[in-house]
Structure 1
Amino acid sequence: MDALHHGGPATQSTRQQLRQQIRLQRQALTPHQQEQASKAVLARFTQLKTIRDARHIAIYLSNDGELDTGPLIDWIWRQGKNVYLPVLHPFSKGHLLFLHYRPDSPMRCNRYGIAEPALDVRLVKPVHELDIVCTPLVAFDDQGQRLGMGGGYYDRTLSQWHQSGLGPQPLGLAHDCQQVRHLPSEAWDVPLPAILTPSAYHHW
């Protein structure tokens, strides 16, 4: 896309308003709605061939009203597959590391107040060795465009896959209320090839 469609203050302001609006909708879901949504996504998740074939799956711990990934993580463990969680890179700003995660992993809170495994270089899995990266998002549209929290962490993580098709397959996870008709995009945004919600498996 040309520069006219990207990056202006109006685009950033619209994205910020959307972030606020969708986060409020997500946070307003009742515990029962959250539980039903997570069960519905788990049922779809376990049927995906890409998930069944995968050995190394990166996922994230939910916060801020995100779809509860706890049941997905438990299922992955029960299948004997490996789970990896994102950790903020200690000195490469805006980048993530992925650490092997087990039920007994020592955890700490990062600067955003999100729990992550305590950094141990022996547990780091290079991104290109992962099979799937389950990606959080604030909103998504009919073309698979993803709106994150604005830090660009996952856009950087997935940029090689986006450019060359190499590396782990991204899979967005979201509530149905996070879908919008059209997202204003930035040049660096990485659209997702597939997004799983309680009511649908969207793929492009």
Structure 2
Amino acid sequence: MSGAAVEKARLRAERLAARDAIPPADRIEKSLLMAEHGQEALTCPPGAVVSGFSPIRSEADIRPLMAALKARGARLCLPVILDKETIVFRELVAGAELVPMGFGTFGPGPEAQVLEPDLMLMPLAAFDAHGQRIGYGGGYYDRAIDRMHKKGSAPQLIGIAFDCQEVASVPAEIHDMRLHAILTESGFRRF
């Protein structure tokens, strides 16, 4: 394991422990603040495809923000893990059955349309003031974004985290995809 990978693992564990320590009631309040800031800061034309996520463990709950973006005309999708290497983004449609996706989440089934996001709301373990992020270690988002770039697509990458997940510096590696902005309970910051 490289020195950067070891440091990332350390920072990931440290920042996830800090996130886990946020009391559930506080996490709800902070998530609602994120939704307010996100509604003010994010603009997407009607029909724009926005990928979000269903919260797991101690992640921020961005479903209120996703609902607000849908009310403005966005098409929503959720990441779906296909195998150990690949995620795709399936459309989230009102009334469609959600199926288990692993990790305690539910999402659109195989009959749902696969979409290419214009804007990606991405969970993460840690981030820095330069837009570098540490994910959960699987590399799913990095590979999916790389695949989209190779097809000529350039989605806006918005990290979703609590303030306590910020670190002084993320040891970036060549495959890491830099965020365009971060959304926390304190507000929306572009990089």
| TM-score normalized by the length of structure 1 | 0.83
The answer to whether structure 1 residue 123 and structure 2 residue 113 are counterparts is yes
**Between Structure 1 and Structure 2, how many residues are aligned?**
191
Structure 1 unaligned segments of length 5 or more: list them. 1-6
CA RMSD of aligned residues (A): 2.2
**Could you say which structure has the higher strand fraction?**
2
Q: Percent identity?
A: 29
Residues 76 and 59 of structure 1, relative CA distance in 2, 3 Å threshold = same
Deviation digits for residues 148-189 of structure 1, max 9, x if unmatched? 001111111222566898432111111101100011222211
In structure 2, the residue corresponding to 1:50 is in which secondary structure?
coil
Matching of residue 200 in structure 1 with residue 190 in structure 2: no
Query: Is 1:56 matched with 2:44?
Result: no
- Secondary structure class of the residue paired with 1:134: strand
Q: Distance in 1 between matches of 2:17 and 2:164?
A: 10
Greater helix percent: which structure? Answer: 1
The correspondence for 1:181, drawn from 168, 177, 181, is 168
The yes-or-no answer on 1:170 pairing with 2:157 is: yes
Could you tell me which amino acid in structure 1 is paired with residue 141 of structure 2? Y
SS in 1 for 2:178: coil
- Partner-residue secondary structure (3-state), 2:43: helix
Name stretches of at least 5 consecutive residues in structure 2 with no aligned partner. none
Alignment of 1:67-146 (within 5 A): 67-90=60-83, 93-120=84-111, 122-125=112-115, 127=116, 130-146=117-133
- The alignment status of 1:45 with 2:52, answered yes or no, reads no
Distance 1:77 1:164, change over 3 A: closer
**Partner Cα separation in structure 2 for residue 143 and residue 81 of structure 1:** 28
CA displacement 1:46-88 (0-9 Å, x = unmatched): 1125346662211111112111112112222333321100111
> Is residue 36–residue 65 contact of structure 2 (8 Å, CA) maintained in 1?
no
SS in 2 for 1:20: helix
State the distance in 1 between where 2:33 and 2:44 align.
16
Partners of 2:89 and 2:159 lie apart in 1 by 17
TM-score, normalisation: structure 2: 0.88
- Report whether the alignment pairs 1:66 with 2:59: yes
Paired residues of 2:123 and 2:161 also in contact (CA < 8 A): yes
Secondary structure at the counterpart of residue 138 of structure 2: coil
